[in-house]
Amino acid sequence: MANSATPRIPAEMPEFWGLVHWGLPIAVILAVVAALIFNFTKWGYEIRLIGSNPSAGRYAGIASRRYLILVMLASGAIAGVAGMLEIAGTVHRLQGGISNNYGYLGIMVAVLARGSSVGVIFSGALMAFILNSGIILQTEGLTTSAVLAITGLILFLTAIGDELSHYRIIRDKA
């Protein structure tokens, strides 16, 4: 019963150019609005401060619990919009397994974006390209595990590159 699906939901997201539905511009607009909020408002600054160093936030007198709840509510609202766009845009029904490891991929997209709201657009596009290419490669005999291994390898190499970027080579003048 876990893999059962509901009947088709009559709500449908209109497409443009016969290629993508309105979920793409809505996602881009949400990312740009988040970038503007995080970079140009006091609220965004305080959220970034609490996220990077909770002790500094407490020292500055910021009510971190309040911001934590507000950010969780905003994240839940964005996830709800994403779910609505997925249902109304592509799947048109509620079904088990609809998320296809989106949580795991979301972590990878966030790591690749390196804290940039606009970077999420590009790293998300990269992950979408890899997954869609994986679907095509599966018709050629490549397994799903290989595609997930490729995405994991990208995350692994990004983590290594991020760690190595904090070091520099110093030549001995001896």
Domain ranges of the chain: 1-99, 100-174
| Per-residue pLDDT band at 44 (split at 50, 70, 90) | very high
**Residue type, position 124, single letter:** G
In the predicted structure, residue 1 carries a pLDDT above the cut 60: no
User: From CA 108, how far away is CA 88, in angstroms rounded?
Assistant: 25
User: From CA 106, how far away is CA 83, in angstroms rounded?
Assistant: 14
User: From CA 106, how far away is CA 127, in angstroms rounded?
Assistant: 9
Look up tokens 């290629």; give the residue.
Answer: 19
In the predicted structure, residue 89 carries a pLDDT above the cut 90: no
| Per-residue pLDDT band at 13 (split at 50, 70, 90) | confident
* CA triple 10-13-19, angle to 5 deg: 130
pTM confidence score = 0.76
The per-residue b/e assignment along 110-124, b for 16 or more CB within 10 angstroms, e otherwise, is: eebbeebbebbbebb
